[in-house]
Structure 1
Amino acid sequence: MPILEKLTQPGQARHWTDSIPLEFHYTAGVAGEEFRRELRDNGRFLVSKCSKCKSTYIPARMYCPSCFIEMKDQFPIDKPGYVYSFTSVNRDRSGTDTELPITVGVVKFEGVKGGIVHLLDVDDSERVSIGMKVTPSLKNLSERTGALTDILAFKPTSARPSKTSSEGGTMDRHAARTGDDQARSLLHSIEESGYPIEEDEMTISSLRRKIGKGELLTSDEDRLLHRLGDKAREWRKAVKSSSETEPTDTLSG
């Protein structure tokens, strides 16, 4: 049928069913391959450290996104991570309802930029809190392939005690005292960092007053306190990096 011929009936159109073979390969890059190899062989996470700004990144990468220089210093970390944020869903990736909620979190590591998004091994999402320490649960060595699926999930380093007892519903004093000490320490770190808190002065004052009275923070207040703590750490690093800048790195005039 000529290409310019006008069709007057749908049945005049012809078609055929076939497939077009397409193939592509995606590599993780040099640093990405090293990160995956370390995970597969030794069950550890590889990070990269910038020799100029001293920032450390996970997963390992070749170039510093701030200084644009190659990062040759790479090393594994063994310390536990902490939950930076999390959410729970009742459906899997195909949209099918699950019997139990699935909890996914962003896991970060103290003093390291970046993080890993993965499953959290918890029975109840209500027992997850921002800042909770977690460690990776890995497949057996013979089953690892160097993929992030080598990580089964991140599990809490220890069982988090319930806020209320099953009998009288009273507050677990040890858990409350531990949470209060952590909040005090984080607040002190924010105030000592020199981070400009003018915009957050009212929030800081409210948190300071509540922590001073020994009252437990709500989940939103706890999340806000950790967010301010992250800002304070970044501010401290920036100040330190600025003070370490050599005269030759700064343009005159």
Structure 2
Amino acid sequence: MAFRFHKMHGLGNDFVVIDARADALALTPAQARAIADRRTGVGCDQLIVMEPSTIADVRMRIWNADGGEVEACGNASRCVALLIGGGTIETLGGLLTGDTDGAQATVDMGAPRFGWGEIPLAYAMDTAFMPLAWEQLENPAAVNVGNPHVIFFVPDTDAVELERIGPEIEHDPIFPERVNVNVATVVSRGLIRLRVWERGVGLTQACGTGACATAVAAIRAGLVDGPVEVALPGGSLTIDWAPGRPIRMTGPATHVFTADADLARFG
């Protein structure tokens, strides 16, 4: 079966986006992993499939590079919003709304969740100041923004060996659904520097949900004011949030090319 795909990225966080609204496409985790492979497949951080929705303009399904299906992806949400010209997007993590302005997209990511069972954690604790540590990383905050995140505020994000310690934290039993690991440095009341170890992907150039979770945790702790710029290795996002309101994320979405492929080549 042949399928058409779009190669897109948001700040270097790259995607293969398949439009299956007219022709259904059944994917296995092994096929998703094969398509995402950068040596023998198309190559991407996440594979995105757009499907029909009964409650939104489009349903967005997300597979990480390891073949696992996940609930949310902020950068991919902007890319899908760009493709459909703005509208509502159904995800496993909730219903989103996207608006576009040229190559920029703003997505209403919904309200953050802070309850220990909503992250989820293995047992109850304060998610604003968790009594946990992994080497020099200690007392993180946890936020669910459609997917689970843990955020460490550190003096220098670049000094953290995130490629080494990230997998350990991601797979710690305290996180029964694994977790995205964020290390952030507050530069000023309006700027945060951020690096992310993404669950099922690894180190990434940018993570939209990570930027949202980190900004929310920093605003909640009184460290910054919204809207706040979150600077990632691939570029910057603007995150706006206040208690009782949804998170709004603004940043670029880039269409690189469109091509066709044969699903049979991927197992």
TM beyond 0.5:
no
Q: TM-score, normalised by structure 2?
A: 0.25
TM-score of the two chains, using structure 1 as the length reference: 0.26
The structure with higher relative contact order (CA 8 Å, sep 6+) is 2
Structure with larger Rg: 1
More helix by share: 1
